[in-house]
A and B are shown apart, each in its own frame.
Chain A
Amino acid sequence: MDLADLSIAEAGRRLRAREVTSVDLVEAVRRRASMTEAILHAYLTIDREGALGAARAADSALAAGRDFGPLHGIPIALKDNMVTRGVETTCSSRILSGWRPPYDATVVERLKAGGAVVFGKTNLDEFAMGSSTENSAYGPTRNPWDADRVPGGSSGGSAASVAVGSAFAALGSDTGGSIRQPAALCGVVGMKPTYGLVSRYGLIAFASSLDQIGPITRTVGDAVTVFEAIAGHDPSDATSYRGAFPDARAGLGRGVAGLKIGVVRELSGDGIDHGVKASFRMMLEALSAEGAEIAELSLPSTEYALSAYYLIAPAECSANLARFDGVRYGLRVSGESVGQMMAASRHDGFGPEVTRRILLGTYALSAGYYDAFYGQAQKVRTLVIDDFKRAYDQVDVLVTPTSPSTAFGVGEKTADPLSMYLSDVCTIPSNLSGDPAISVPAGLDESGLPVGFQVLAPALGEAVMFQVAEAVERLASFDARPSLATSEGAA
């Protein structure tokens, strides 16, 4: 097996056994990237020199007996909406073209402190707005299982890089499913932590009350490892959780016997593609056979969750993206007055989907419309939270397919934003509630495309979520590899 295909756990074992070096690992992902990037375009920036420098430092530290933890020496990719000191950070937007941040995001600091090697910055839908990574000012990312299809989004570059082996793991951000949906479409594991467990400081905000950074990995075990490395209270983020953090490993290896698993009726029937449904049902049977108690239950408010999300997220983004005005950084298009300069910079700097959401959000917050739109959406959000609370009185976790379909064709949904928005129908509710959720590959559909199985847990319920996710991974024994990773060049 090529080094680039190893799990973090295995690569770490070999590093400590002195069988490989961190430099070897960086070279392995670099080779994989050089063979796949021309088709895939998972990366916006590969920081080869920076990565090699960090790898050498990691190697000498390890040689000197200093082991910074399970990510020591492991090459990791970052979605390009997390700021990296001195390394261009664009959010896939023209408006930030060439911007080199003067500081590192807290997650970047934490990864570096844990010895990880930042390999590059991955492509995304501009400002994380989209479900296909087609809304990138620098061109779309392709799906490694079928280059005519999208990788999902918005963390499509992160998911594709992990799937194809041009990173051992990646960080994504999830506002409405932007980690889990691309993970599902690329056949990897993607996890959104409980809101507040991972610092947002240095994550370029899309919708502050919904955004959360999380890991994209090839195994559930690796997801736990990366989650543990990035989670923790951060005094620089006022919404960072201050209480005791859950022991994410507490349920690992325990299986699902005796657990109550709730199937969300509204998110597992109508509107779900046949292949996805079939795979989902098979996994339910397997879980039941392992001794889990499967119960179907209803979350009536989820019907309105998508609508509420498409008011709350645009409203917050309309303010969050106001700072991109050409005054202090990024693109500046000259104008007769300061106001005209700002307008021209924003007009030229933002793509159509970002513009659409800023306009939607501005409208939803306007005097006279606030109550009908934003105010109403906040009430729905409360109903969703209440629905989840009631559900968790009855079951330990909830499950749904991660996305209604497997990877769709490039260009298939770009003309119809509403059908694109529906890709996130199963993932959005847990962003509204702030609860953790994970997508684990459960199998392939009839076209040979990966299907994601989503496990939802109550706030701070990471332990039981990982417990079930690990069982799903084992029961699926998903060992298929995307064609691009195993094509001749990559062999």
Chain B
Amino acid sequence: MTYEAVIGIETHVELLTRSKMFCGCPTGFGAEPNTNVCPVCLGLPGALPVPNERAVEWTITLGLALDCAIAPHSVFHRKNYFYADLPKNYQISQFDLPLCVGGHLDVDAGTSVRRVGITRVHLEEDTGKSTHLGGSGRIHAAEGALIDFNRSGIPLMEVVTEPDIRSPEEARAYATELRSIVLALGISDARLEEGSLRFDANVSLRPEGSQPLGTKVEVKNMNSLRSLQRALAFEIDRQTAVLASGGSVAQETRHWDEEAGRTESGRSKEESSDYRYFTEPDLVPLAVGPDLLDRLRSTIPELPAARRAHYVAAGVDEAAARTLVAGGLERVFDDAVSAGAPARQAAVWLTGEVTAHLNRTDQNPEALLLDGAGLAELVAMVDNREVSATAAKDVLSGVLAGEGSPRRVAEARDLLQISDAGALSAVVDEMLAAHAEVAERIRGGESRLVGFLVGQVMKATGGKADPKAVDALIRERTGA
């Protein structure tokens, strides 16, 4: 029997607000543990939450970008559970009246466009971070735990999809697209490795063509887009094997182990969780009026899908457009095009050499030492034959290494080629004289010997002559 995978994704996005969700503490990553804290985010007795307006607005903005309906009245709830890094032992979250409901996102894994329904987008607060000491670092064997409450209370947005995704590739495409939108809106730095963007996936199988849903498994702990795809592929294979052998899939939470390349069962005994949600009495309902919606709508920049279409229309091919937008390279690209670079060539450089460099050095696009003007200059130098295609790659690596503008690098590394006919004529004439016999044979019709003379000129110029220009000069002189 063939099975169809049914996948839904829950995404947690840490918002890039300057202060936390319910207090004025700063949100910066990497501060000394327990320094960005106050009575509110430590859950001290008597402290009360006050909602961060910007976080509310940004959540609505994402909802608008995903074509959600925005609730005119939205309510915070308390989600009750005991956990050492949850200071109040309840999380302020949203339950049956979230800010945004019923949107969608179209994704393309390269096969066809899939419309993924967005069930809801809501706002909540993050927990503290526990570090387990001793043992293997896992909670069970730990000898003790340290808790850092710097993360406690950071605004966390949760985006929940309908179970509309059908393959690991689509899941990855969805995650990539959502991440691009979040980045385009500037509401999160969306770094999976730092946990500011976290994906959990629910996956179940059902016989191809059947409607009822199978038993779902929640997969957690995927720290990259690639591991999301790998984890789902593994989990689908695992469940297929279970079902094929006549077994049944257990409803559970499984953790992705990146090194082992497999999912592992979480808690052996799955606690039935009753979160006893009830309206947060310390907060009043959020009222969202049409004026606010209009204002927020006007802040939404061109979204990735529209931007890709716009790049394709400018002559960039589909795959390159996708890489530019997903890879955070749009700004350099746009700037290069504004500085006069043809779109297609700028895209080729960025999606080829530059992306390879980023992957090799594990760098963020923001840290790139190449700006749009520099890229435009490089493209122009190649076009004007001031550098050869091969030398241009060296020029780029110099620029990326911080050696200065392309022209400066080309000069410093002595990579400018001689394409000026005046400067080349002398060398060409010299070589024609030195190899008079060969020149004679060319004049006699053996034009295949032109290449020999070009090689001699290149040798004499230390490789800096433009071979095309040399070729043209020799043919002109010999009438070949």
Contact = CB atoms under 8 A, between A and B. Distances in A.
Interface stretch (B103-111, B280-288, B316-324, B329-337): B280-288
A238 B281 contact: no
A83 B284 CA distance: 24
Interface residues of B, number: 29
A470 B415 CA distance: 96
B88 A103 contact: no
Interface string B76-107: 00101010100111100000000000000000
A470 to B, nearest CB: 33
A362 to B, nearest CB: 7
B49 A328 contact: no
B278 A205 contact: no
B276 A208 contact: no
A339 interface: yes
A338 B144 CA distance: 9
Interface stretch (A29-37, A256-264, A318-326): A318-326
Q: Which of B46, B282, B284 has the most CB of A within 10 A?
A: B46
Interface string A326-352: 011100000000110010000000000
Contact of B45 (A204, A209, A315, A365): A204
A261 B291 CA distance: 45
Nearest to B23: A236
B26 interface: no
Given A82-B46, A101-B46, A238 B282 contact: yes
Contacts of B90: 319, 322
B87 A323 contact: yes
Contact of A238 (B48, B82, B147): B48
A103 B281 contact: no
B39 A374 contact: no
A105 interface: yes
B48 to A, nearest CB: 5
B305 interface: no
A366 B46 contact: no
Given A208-B282, A316-B281, A105 B82 contact: no
Contact of B50 (A203, A209, A235): A235
A103 B283 CA distance: 21
Contacts of A454: none
B46 A342 contact: no
B327 interface: no
B175 to A, nearest CB: 32
A202 interface: yes
A170 B258 CA distance: 61
B274 A101 contact: no
Q: Which of B42, B44, B49 has the most CB of A within 10 A?
A: B44
13 contacts: A82-B46, A83-B44, A201-B46, A203-B46, A207-B281, A209-B281, A235-B50, A319-B78, A319-B276, A322-B80, A323-B89, A365-B80, A367-B274
Interface of B: 39, 42-51, 78, 80, 82, 84, 87-90, 145, 147, 274, 276-278, 281-284
Given A205-B46, A237-B48, A319-B90, 5 more contacts: A83-B44, A99-B45, A205-B45, A323-B43, A338-B84
